[in-house]
């Protein structure tokens, strides 16, 4: 399956012709899409767990695209959004972009401009998914550590030497060396620098607070 086929573009617009036009354009370049007339239809749908983005009309009957953007964020739905509108203004576009929108296009827009924004949005979603997958894997490795190994890891990444850690924990230096080895193996870290980066991604400093 190609990268394009393994992704999905969702379109929410109350205009039948706009939905059909965008869907036809996407199909012509090998992109899969699903269209919806309202945000409620989108929320009720069963969406594939693949890299995706949302092309969203700003003004919808009984709804506002900017409000829906905030609603999705509050619900923890992380999907890159491209706004399209026939009635946009600068304050509206600024608000959308500050809230994380990929692009804000005013109708009529060029197909290529929308396609460029869609590819950018899909790339952003792939990157977010990759980062989340890496973080989940790191969390699993960290959870495999014993309570003492977590203590040792925290002190190691803070820059302390084995003998300092041993003194701090009231144990022997050889014991710390063994536990440090367990940490490196379980976390699959090949160097101290890599272990420090892992700790930063896991935000272990926040865990101590």
* Cα–Cα distance measured from residue 11 to residue 2, given in angstroms and rounded to the nearest whole number: 21
**How big is the chain by its Cα radius of gyration, in Å?**
24
CA 81, 5, 44 angle in degrees (round to 5)? Answer: 50
Q: What is the largest CA-CA distance in the chain?
A: 74
Residue 113 dihedral angles phi and psi, to the nearest 5°? -65, -40
Q: pLDDT in tens for each of the 209 residues of the chain? A: 455 558 999 999 999 999 999 999 999 999 999 999 999 999 999 888 899 999 999 988 888 889 999 999 888 888 999 999 987 777 888 888 888 899 999 888 999 999 999 999 999 999 999 999 999 999 999 999 999 999 999 999 999 999 999 999 999 999 999 999 999 999 999 999 999 999 999 998 645 43
Count CA atoms within 13 Å of residue 155 on its CB side.
Answer: 20
Count CA atoms within 13 Å of residue 118 on its CB side.
Answer: 26
Q: Show the 3-state SS of 30-62.
A: CCCEEEECCHHHHHHCCCCCCCEEEEEECEECC
Q: The dihedral of CA 103, 109, 115, 118: what is its sign?
A: positive
């Amino acid at each position: 399956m190609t990268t394009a086929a393994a992704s999905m573009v969702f379109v929410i617009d109350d205009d039948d012709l706009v939905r059909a036009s965008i869907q036809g354009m996407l199909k012509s370049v090998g992109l899969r899409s699903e269209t919806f007339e309202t945000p409620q239809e989108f929320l009720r749908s069963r969406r594939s767990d693949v890299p995706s983005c949302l092309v969203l009309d700003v003004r919808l009957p009984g709804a506002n695209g900017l409000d829906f953007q905030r609603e999705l964020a509050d619900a923890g739905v992380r999907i890159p959004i491209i706004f399209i509108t026939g009635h946009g203004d600068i304050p509206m576009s600024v608000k959308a972009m500050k809230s994380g929108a990929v692009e804000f296009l005013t109708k009529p827009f060029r197909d290529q401009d929308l396609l460029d924004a869609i590819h950018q949005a899909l790339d952003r979603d792939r990157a977010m998914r990759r980062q989340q997958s890496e973080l989940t894997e790191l969390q699993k490795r960290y959870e495999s550590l014993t309570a003492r190994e977590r203590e040792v890891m925290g002190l190691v990444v803070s820059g302390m030497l084995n003998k300092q850690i041993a003194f701090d924990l009231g144990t022997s230096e050889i014991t710390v060396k063994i536990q440090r080895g367990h940490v490196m193996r379980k976390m699959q870290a090949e160097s101290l620098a890599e272990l420090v980066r892992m700790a930063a991604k896991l935000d272990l400093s926040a865990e101590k607070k």
